[in-house]
Amino acid sequence: MTTNIGAVTFSCQDPHKVAEFWAHALGRHVAASADSGSAAILAAIPLYFRRSTSETTVENNIHLDLTTDDLDADATRLRELGATEVRRGEWHSTESITFLDVEGNQFDLIAE
């Protein structure tokens, strides 16, 4: 038996704001939605964003790792979109940067 990831879901105070951030970060578009409490980015693994009343106050137990062939250029682009740089480091001997998105969700940008 094989199990696959069907989607990744974010709980957000402002689903559309967070979806727009990730759409721009990934070069995608937010799918049209009649529901103001949710949004989606359709991709190989869809990203769903649903309204939540709780804030991100502690480190995520799960986060996205983005890879890039131009770490500095993409780091600048992500900061311009509203991401906050937390720290620079290494991931398996590869340079990486940890960020927070517009609602404090942690993610990593990793050089290929």
Asked if residue 2 is part of any domain, the answer here is no
Q: Are residues 27 and 68 in the same domain?
A: no
10-34 pLDDT, tens digit per residue, is 999 999 999 999 999 999 999 977 7
* pLDDT given at position 56: 66
> Which parts of 44-92 fold into alpha helices (H)?
71-80
SS3 95: strand
Classify residue 23 as exposed, middle or buried by CB count within 10 Å of its CB (0-12, 13-18, 19+): buried
54 or 87, which is more confident?
87
Q: What's the token pair of residue 105? A: 């969700």
Q: List Cβ neighbours of 2 (8 Å cut-off, separation of 6 or more).
A: none
Structural domain harbouring 13: 7-53
* pLDDT given at position 5: 83
Q: Are residues 67 and 109 in the same domain?
A: yes
pTM of the model: 0.85
* pLDDT given at position 70: 96
Mean of the per-residue pLDDT values of the chain: 90
CATH number of the structural domain spanning residue 81: 3.10.180.10
Confidence of residue 41 (pLDDT cuts 50, 70, 90): very high
33 or 45, which is more confident?
45
58-86 pLDDT, tens digit per residue, is 667 778 999 999 999 999 999 999 999 99
**Between the CA of residue 40 and those of 84, 90, 107, what are the distances in Å?**
22, 31, 18
Asked if residue 1 is part of any domain, the answer here is no
Domains identified in the chain, total number: 2
| Section 35-54 average pLDDT | 89
Q: List Cβ neighbours of 72 (8 Å cut-off, separation of 6 or more).
A: none
CATH number of the structural domain spanning residue 43: 3.30.720
Q: Are residues 45 and 85 in the same domain?
A: no
